[in-house]
Amino acid sequence: MHHAQPSPTACEPLHADATGHDPVIIPGPDPPLERPSPEDPFQDQYCFFYGTLQDPDTLRQVLGWPRSPPILRRARVFGYEIQLWGPCPALVDKPCHSVNGMVSEPLSTIQLDRLAAYETDRYRRQSCSIEILNDDDEVVKTIEGVCFVWNGPLDKLRAGKFDLKEWRKDKLLQMLD
Protein backbone atom coordinates (compact mmCIF):
# COMPACT_ATOMS: atom_id res chain seq x y z
CA MET A 1 0.00 0.00 0.00
CA HIS A 2 1.48 3.34 -1.04
CA HIS A 3 1.14 6.27 1.37
CA ALA A 4 -0.36 9.14 -0.62
CA GLN A 5 1.46 12.43 -0.50
CA PRO A 6 -0.45 15.57 0.49
CA SER A 7 -1.36 17.71 -2.47
CA PRO A 8 0.94 20.66 -3.13
CA THR A 9 -1.96 23.07 -2.65
CA ALA A 10 -2.95 21.55 0.71
CA CYS A 11 0.56 21.63 2.21
CA GLU A 12 4.11 22.41 1.23
CA PRO A 13 4.98 21.86 -2.42
CA LEU A 14 6.54 18.51 -3.18
CA HIS A 15 9.95 18.59 -4.83
CA ALA A 16 10.35 16.59 -8.04
CA ASP A 17 13.31 15.84 -10.23
CA ALA A 18 13.52 18.73 -12.70
CA THR A 19 14.38 16.40 -15.59
CA GLY A 20 11.37 14.16 -15.02
CA HIS A 21 13.72 11.16 -15.01
CA ASP A 22 14.53 8.78 -12.19
CA PRO A 23 18.32 9.10 -11.76
CA VAL A 24 20.48 6.17 -10.80
CA ILE A 25 22.60 8.00 -8.22
CA ILE A 26 21.58 10.41 -5.47
CA PRO A 27 24.20 13.17 -5.38
CA GLY A 28 25.42 14.53 -2.08
CA PRO A 29 28.45 15.06 0.11
CA ASP A 30 28.22 11.52 1.54
CA PRO A 31 28.80 8.39 -0.54
CA PRO A 32 25.85 8.14 -2.95
CA LEU A 33 22.92 5.83 -2.38
CA GLU A 34 22.38 3.81 -5.54
CA ARG A 35 18.90 2.90 -6.71
CA PRO A 36 18.47 -0.87 -6.98
CA SER A 37 17.84 -2.16 -10.46
CA PRO A 38 14.16 -2.85 -11.26
CA GLU A 39 15.15 -6.38 -12.30
CA ASP A 40 16.42 -7.11 -8.77
CA PRO A 41 14.49 -10.23 -7.67
CA PHE A 42 15.12 -9.44 -4.02
CA GLN A 43 13.39 -6.06 -4.25
CA ASP A 44 15.89 -4.13 -2.17
CA GLN A 45 14.27 -1.00 -0.76
CA TYR A 46 15.28 2.23 0.89
CA CYS A 47 14.09 2.47 4.49
CA PHE A 48 13.29 5.64 6.45
CA PHE A 49 14.24 5.69 10.16
CA TYR A 50 13.00 8.17 12.78
CA GLY A 51 13.94 6.59 16.14
CA THR A 52 16.74 4.53 17.63
CA LEU A 53 17.56 2.99 14.24
CA GLN A 54 18.90 6.38 13.12
CA ASP A 55 21.94 5.38 15.17
CA PRO A 56 24.25 3.57 12.70
CA ASP A 57 25.68 1.15 15.26
CA THR A 58 22.22 0.17 16.54
CA LEU A 59 21.05 -0.34 12.97
CA ARG A 60 24.14 -2.46 12.19
CA GLN A 61 23.45 -4.67 15.22
CA VAL A 62 19.75 -5.13 14.37
CA LEU A 63 20.64 -6.00 10.76
CA GLY A 64 23.28 -8.44 12.00
CA TRP A 65 25.98 -6.84 9.86
CA PRO A 66 29.53 -7.71 10.89
CA ARG A 67 30.84 -4.93 8.67
CA SER A 68 30.64 -1.17 9.00
CA PRO A 69 27.24 0.45 9.57
CA PRO A 70 25.00 1.03 6.53
CA ILE A 71 25.17 4.36 4.75
CA LEU A 72 22.58 6.76 6.19
CA ARG A 73 21.53 10.13 4.80
CA ARG A 74 19.35 12.87 6.25
CA ALA A 75 15.78 12.55 5.01
CA ARG A 76 12.14 13.54 5.54
CA VAL A 77 8.70 12.01 5.00
CA PHE A 78 5.42 13.93 4.65
CA GLY A 79 2.01 13.04 6.00
CA TYR A 80 3.18 11.80 9.41
CA GLU A 81 4.03 12.91 12.92
CA ILE A 82 5.87 11.33 15.84
CA GLN A 83 4.02 10.26 18.98
CA LEU A 84 5.43 8.18 21.80
CA TRP A 85 4.62 4.66 22.98
CA GLY A 86 6.39 4.75 26.33
CA PRO A 87 9.88 5.98 25.38
CA CYS A 88 9.59 4.61 21.82
CA PRO A 89 8.72 6.86 18.90
CA ALA A 90 5.81 5.87 16.69
CA LEU A 91 5.08 7.24 13.23
CA VAL A 92 1.38 8.02 12.76
CA ASP A 93 -0.59 9.56 9.90
CA LYS A 94 -0.88 13.34 10.11
CA PRO A 95 -1.70 15.20 6.87
CA CYS A 96 0.41 18.27 6.09
CA HIS A 97 3.07 17.38 8.66
CA SER A 98 6.57 16.04 8.14
CA VAL A 99 9.07 13.99 10.12
CA ASN A 100 12.84 14.27 9.74
CA GLY A 101 15.03 11.23 10.10
CA MET A 102 17.48 9.15 8.11
CA VAL A 103 17.26 6.96 5.02
CA SER A 104 19.38 3.87 4.53
CA GLU A 105 21.06 2.49 1.49
CA PRO A 106 18.76 -0.11 -0.13
CA LEU A 107 18.08 -3.04 2.20
CA SER A 108 17.29 -6.62 1.21
CA THR A 109 14.04 -8.41 2.01
CA ILE A 110 15.89 -10.39 4.69
CA GLN A 111 17.19 -7.20 6.29
CA LEU A 112 13.72 -5.63 6.18
CA ASP A 113 12.35 -8.77 7.87
CA ARG A 114 14.97 -8.38 10.63
CA LEU A 115 13.82 -4.79 11.11
CA ALA A 116 10.18 -5.93 11.29
CA ALA A 117 11.10 -8.44 14.02
CA TYR A 118 12.92 -5.70 15.95
CA GLU A 119 9.96 -3.33 15.60
CA THR A 120 7.47 -5.98 16.88
CA ASP A 121 3.87 -6.30 15.74
CA ARG A 122 3.11 -2.82 17.10
CA TYR A 123 4.66 -1.44 13.89
CA ARG A 124 4.02 -2.34 10.26
CA ARG A 125 6.02 -1.70 7.13
CA GLN A 126 4.44 0.82 4.77
CA SER A 127 5.48 2.30 1.43
CA CYS A 128 6.33 5.99 1.44
CA SER A 129 8.03 8.75 -0.52
CA ILE A 130 11.28 9.85 1.07
CA GLU A 131 12.96 13.19 0.48
CA ILE A 132 16.77 13.07 0.70
CA LEU A 133 18.02 16.28 2.34
CA ASN A 134 21.31 18.14 2.19
CA ASP A 135 22.85 19.89 5.20
CA ASP A 136 20.67 22.96 4.55
CA ASP A 137 17.43 20.90 4.66
CA GLU A 138 17.02 21.34 0.90
CA VAL A 139 15.62 18.39 -1.03
CA VAL A 140 18.28 16.66 -3.13
CA LYS A 141 16.04 13.89 -4.48
CA THR A 142 12.74 12.14 -3.77
CA ILE A 143 12.77 8.33 -3.76
CA GLU A 144 10.29 5.56 -2.99
CA GLY A 145 10.93 3.40 0.05
CA VAL A 146 9.38 2.05 3.22
CA CYS A 147 8.98 3.11 6.82
CA PHE A 148 7.61 1.43 9.94
CA VAL A 149 4.37 3.03 11.16
CA TRP A 150 2.36 2.51 14.34
CA ASN A 151 0.14 -0.57 14.16
CA GLY A 152 -1.47 -0.41 17.60
CA PRO A 153 -4.32 1.46 19.25
CA LEU A 154 -3.85 5.22 19.09
CA ASP A 155 -4.94 5.57 22.72
CA LYS A 156 -1.66 3.84 23.70
CA LEU A 157 0.31 6.83 22.34
CA ARG A 158 1.04 10.21 23.85
CA ALA A 159 2.30 13.46 22.40
CA GLY A 160 6.05 13.86 22.47
CA LYS A 161 9.26 13.95 20.50
CA PHE A 162 12.16 11.54 20.14
CA ASP A 163 15.62 13.03 20.66
CA LEU A 164 18.41 10.82 19.28
CA LYS A 165 21.14 12.73 21.17
CA GLU A 166 19.27 12.29 24.45
CA TRP A 167 18.71 8.58 23.70
CA ARG A 168 22.43 8.10 23.00
CA LYS A 169 23.31 9.87 26.26
CA ASP A 170 20.87 7.65 28.23
CA LYS A 171 22.28 4.54 26.51
CA LEU A 172 25.83 5.56 27.46
CA LEU A 173 24.79 6.19 31.06
CA GLN A 174 23.13 2.77 31.24
CA MET A 175 26.32 1.14 29.99
CA LEU A 176 28.31 2.90 32.75
CA ASP A 177 25.98 1.66 35.52
The pTM score is: 0.74
Q: Above 80 in pLDDT, residue 47?
A: yes
How many helices, marked H, and strands, marked E, lie in the chain?
Answer: 3, 6
**pLDDT tens digit sequence for 85-120:** 998 999 999 999 999 999 998 999 999 999 999 999
Task: Report the alpha-carbon distance of residue 60 to residue 63 in Å, rounded.
Answer: 5
**pLDDT tens digit sequence for 115-160:** 999 999 999 999 999 999 999 999 999 999 999 999 999 999 999 9
- What kind and span of H or E run contains 174? helix 164-176
pLDDT at 35: 42
Domains of the chain: 46-176 (3.10.490.10)
